[in-house]
Amino acid sequence: MLAGLLGAPVLLMAACSSDSSDKGSGGGSTPKTSVAKITVFPADGTTDASFTEPVRVTVADGKLGSVGVTDSTGKAIPGQLSADAGSWTSSGPLASGTKYTVAAVAADRDKLEADANTSFATATPANTFVGYFTPEDGSTVGVGMPVSIRFNKAVTDRQAVQEAITVVAEPGVEIVGHWYSSTRLDFRPETYWAKGTRVTLKLRLKDVEGVKGVYGTQSKDVRFTVGRSQTSVADLKAGTLTVTTDGQVTATYPIIGGAPEHRTWAGKLVVSEQFPQTKMDSTTVGLGDEYNIPDVPHAQRLTASGTFIHGNYWAPASAFGKANLSHGCIALQDVKGAADPNTNGAKFYRSSMAGDVVEVINSGDKTVDPSNGLNGWNLSWADWNAGSAV
């Protein structure tokens, strides 16, 4: 009896073991996984990836089905899948200092899928350049105001930089860029802007390689409006300044121009700055100690080298319209302290704005260098276009 009782559990255990083996390979097997292996470059977790290199996704033992690369705002980066679906390469530019995520799916020969989800960040360039622009955003300017950009580093790839900058106008007009030097690029239409024109400068310099290893940082729009149309003609033989506003002569003032030994530049000169009062010192323009006037009234800059049209309180009233006595500037009668709004200097200043044009004729001097100030209107349209890099 005892032997039989001990044997029963043994038989039961054997029966259980036999039952398990009879289930075959179906119910208890581990599911198969895809043998496709996806590799992403830059690698997951990279924090200083090059923004000039594309994103590359490859697969071994399979074919890619989908690849998506997006930045932190959700913007997708376009790319191209190879003909054999073995690789994908981004075709759109990456931005510096930006985090990206990659999601890729591939399938092996058995249609089993594998996926990869990674992220990386691009580096911020160590060497950068910027462009300082004129006029300012939101300003209202005269019809002669060009768009002028000065770079803080000399540009060697002028084409790449110019292609990253566009200037558009409403109403539309052709606008062309002209390089004066490796650090200055100006834009203008063939003729003066029409009054009321709305102009937009679009700077897309971020990550543009202007110099080897030196990249732009700006991506912004600058907007300005052209105000009323005002141009003036300073006839230094007749001694007059004739002002035309919106097609009508609105004022004529007697003036003083440059003396024979200091003639005023000829040509079309654009007002670039305005000062109710300013100091003028001859030592700053290479004329020794000939003058030092701390309070020149109603001064408007016409050249970078120091030509102004301004009020004058020290010359005798009889000289205006009769004699050219200045060191190259154009002067209108005014008072010390710029306090009288009824002087010619004050009235002309009040009617003017940056971007207005003063055309100097009969000065006896040569035409101003177009790069001396904002005076590109002294170049023909053909010569202006010849300075474009695109």
184/134 Cα distance (integer angstroms): 11
Nearest to 51 by CA among 243, 183, 208, 184: 208
User: Scanning the structure block, which residue is given the tokens 């009062």?
Assistant: 277
Q: Give me 146's structure tokens.
A: 């060009």
Nearest to 264 by CA among 173, 172, 369, 363: 363
Cβ pair 371, 180 in contact under 8 A: yes
Residue 329 is a catalytic residue = yes
Report the run of H or E that residue 18 belongs to, with start and end.
Answer: helix 2-21
Spacing of C-alpha 114 from chain mean position? 44
Identified catalytic residue from 178, 298, 327, 329 = 329
Identified catalytic residue from 178, 298, 310, 327 = 310
Q: What is the DSSP letter of 49?
A: B
E strand intervals along 195-245: 198-204, 209-211, 214-216, 219-226, 230-235, 240-245
Other beta carbons within 10 angstroms of residue 330's beta carbon come to: 28
Local structure of 262: helix, strand or coil: helix
Cβ pair 334, 346 in contact under 8 A: yes
Residue 16 is a catalytic residue = no
42/48 Cα distance (integer angstroms): 9
Amino acid at site 248: Q
Q: Which residues pair with 71 in a beta bridge?
A: 100
Cβ pair 219, 302 in contact under 8 A: no
Residues annotated as catalytic (active site), given as ranges: 310, 329
